[in-house]
Structure 1
Amino acid sequence: MLDATDAALVRELQQDGRVSYQRLSELLGVSREAARARVQRLRQRGEVRIVGIVPPSVAGITTVAHVSLDVSGPGRPVAAVASARPAASFVSCTAGPQSVLVELRVADEAALEREFTALRAVPGVRGLEVFRCAELVRDAYSPVPAAGPAGPAPELDATDRRLLGLLQLDGRASFAALAERIGLSQPATRARVLRLLDGGAVHVTGLVESRALGVREAAGVGLGVRGPVRSVAEAAAALPGVNYVATGYGRFDVVCGLDAPDRSALLVGLDAVRALPGVARSESWVHLEIVKESYTYDLPMG
């Protein structure tokens, strides 16, 4: 578990992974050197990774689907095969109606069908149940729920995409280090990075190892909705503990992800989602083991 100062530091890094050590010093009431040392220690221990999260639309990802796998026999071998596929951004073994959950993020319908075919061919898989995502209302590690439908993806050139790729790996890379890698001056590199950040092409954040935050339980819940779906999704995104909300069609109208420090808190969170006005039915599952969780994309150069 993190102490109070580290926990406060992590909250700042989640909001802005490139926040300066001087600013952290002022916010936390510690010296600049102490702030730097704490960040470095958290990163060295693997408790925090500071990365650039690129929105799917910017990465050329237009199609997202949650696939529940009906498995005969052990789920772990199936989850291991699924996690090896680059299109799988999230894979978990679950306690619920199905044994394995896979989130797929791909460029188009043809790529999605190829992924379905590959998953059906995995030994032990008897069938698939699919939720097609229409809109990510709150994506994992988003700083705040979206206020409305996302705007068009910003125009990027090859240099921008190289910068995004580097920021995905190290969100706190210095302007000097980035400039050396892409072959531009430091002022030009700084201007590009700030433009990418301000334009929403990347959000630099601290990815925190769940147990370092006291998170011991994670679950998902699918909702059938009466009336407008978007209003239910926005209400769910504002609830404590909800870290993911998507609208779509197929098995559900809305899918949410939640985390909590213990089973009791998880139940409170699930009940809060189920009690939202407009929710007609719900189905939940507990993540027993998260096998893969990745928000890094191969970025096309143009």
Structure 2
Amino acid sequence: MESGLLDDLDRRLAHALQLDGRASFSTIASVLGVSDQTIARRYRKLRSAGVLRVVGVPEAAPLGQVHWLVRLRCVPDAAAAIAAGLARRDDTQWVSLMSGGTEIVCFVRSPLREQTDGLLLGQLPRTPRVVSMTAYRLLRRFAGGPAGWPGRAGALSVSEVSSLRRTPSGGPYRPEPEDTALLAALAHDARADISTLAAACGRSQSTVRRRLEVLRSSGALYFDVEVDAALLGYPLTATLWLTVAPSALESAGRALAGHPQVAFAAATTGPANLVANVGCRDDAALYEYLAVDLGGLPGVQGVETAPMIRTLKRFGALEPV
């Protein structure tokens, strides 16, 4: 990483872990055509340096939850502290400070019937430092989630992907008391061994192994690889708030899912009905994406571009300081 970018093997390892976050080093090494020791050494080096982390991410619908995208505007000098507080919450994901330093965007997982002290019922707006809040309920995800971002998950061949990809069986998810603690432990480190997970849950290893399989096979849990987009050659990241004609919403969302710049895209409620996170190499690349790729999509009536300046939390839990 002398150049400040991940090399080819690191990228291939990250892609492999996106496909199966708990695949053994020997399995990954066999697919990538290198030794077990090489893969183990690379992973441990990246993990210990804080460059890469595999985390477990709960899927909202199987768990009886919904996802909201919350946009907060704050008074000057307050956004950083508020964002840090949001990042510490268990129900938040992907907390970012946006350009200008007065806006925060974050994902929130919420029960279908929200509790009276929930974030979205106005707890934060009572703080005078929050000027406004807009909440967008996610209706359909077109890009992101288990599939990952093509900008990160495009290093392996079709045959290599086929060897590693695991498809949920689609069986029903029925919650058990230990699942909450298990999901919390996986949000810190999805590659933790079964004994570590069992200790975190206070259950036997056989129980934890069984519940992990249920979560995975039902689609209630997937794995994500946290790595800074700048290390992949995309130092400029931005959130796009798009207004799309309702008749073109499905086609526009599917088109975005095919754009390599798009890490996440979803249809939402609210004043903008399609939102996307994109990664680009520089200003010229972002301009070309907006003018050419987005500009050529039928039904797109408007777009607001908000560059991110710092991401405090991705989809995993905050690591202890």
Query: Scaled by the length of structure 1, what TM-score is found?
Result: 0.81
Deviation at 1:238, TM superposition (A): 2.2
Q: Contact 2:138 / 2:267 at 8 angstroms: preserved in 1?
A: yes
Which residue number corresponds to residue 84 of structure 1?
Answer: 85
Percent of counterpart pairs with the same letter?
26
Which residue number corresponds to residue 237 of structure 2?
Answer: 218
Residue 54 (str. 1) matches residue 58 (str. 2):
yes
Deviation at 1:154, TM superposition (A): 1.8
Aligned positions, number: 288
* Residue deviations 1:202-258 (CA, integer Å, cap 9, x gap): 112321133332331110111111214223212212211211112122211111111
Q: Contact 1:163 / 1:178 at 8 angstroms: preserved in 2?
A: yes
Amino acid at match of 1:73: P
Q: Contact 2:142 / 2:266 at 8 angstroms: preserved in 1?
A: yes
Residue 73 (str. 1) matches residue 72 (str. 2):
no
Secondary structure of the equivalent of 2:82?
helix
Which residue number corresponds to residue 191 of structure 2?
Answer: 172
Unaligned stretches of 5+ residues in structure 2 = 151-169
Residue 14 (str. 1) matches residue 15 (str. 2):
no
* Greater CA drift, 125-134 or 251-260: 125-134
Q: Could you say if the C-alpha distance between residues 113 and 4 of structure 1 is closer, same or farther in structure 2, counting changes exceeding 3 Å? A: closer
Residue 159 (str. 1) matches residue 164 (str. 2):
no
Deviation at 1:39, TM superposition (A): 0.8
Secondary structure of the equivalent of 1:62?
strand
Secondary structure of the equivalent of 1:223?
strand
Amino acid at match of 1:242: V
Separation of aligned partners in 2, 1:170 and 1:111: 31
Separation of aligned partners in 1, 2:179 and 2:132: 41
Deviation at 1:113, TM superposition (A): 7.1
Amino acid at match of 2:230: R
* Residue deviations 1:149-195 (CA, integer Å, cap 9, x gap): xx997212113343323222221122344345543254x54343233
Q: Contact 2:71 / 2:133 at 8 angstroms: preserved in 1?
A: yes
* Greater CA drift, 282-291 or 32-41: 282-291
Unaligned stretches of 5+ residues in structure 1 = 146-150, 298-302
Q: Contact 1:243 / 1:257 at 8 angstroms: preserved in 2?
A: yes
Residue 29 (str. 1) matches residue 33 (str. 2):
yes
Q: Contact 1:220 / 1:287 at 8 angstroms: preserved in 2?
A: yes
Query: Scaled by the length of structure 2, what TM-score is found?
Result: 0.77
Residue 275 (str. 1) matches residue 296 (str. 2):
yes
Separation of aligned partners in 2, 1:111 and 1:139: 30
Q: Quick one: which of 287, 290, 305 aligns to 1:284? A: 305
Q: Contact 2:76 / 2:102 at 8 angstroms: preserved in 1?
A: no
Q: Contact 2:237 / 2:280 at 8 angstroms: preserved in 1?
A: yes
CA RMSD of aligned residues (A): 3.1
Deviation at 1:288, TM superposition (A): 1.9
Which residue number corresponds to residue 205 of structure 1?
Answer: 224
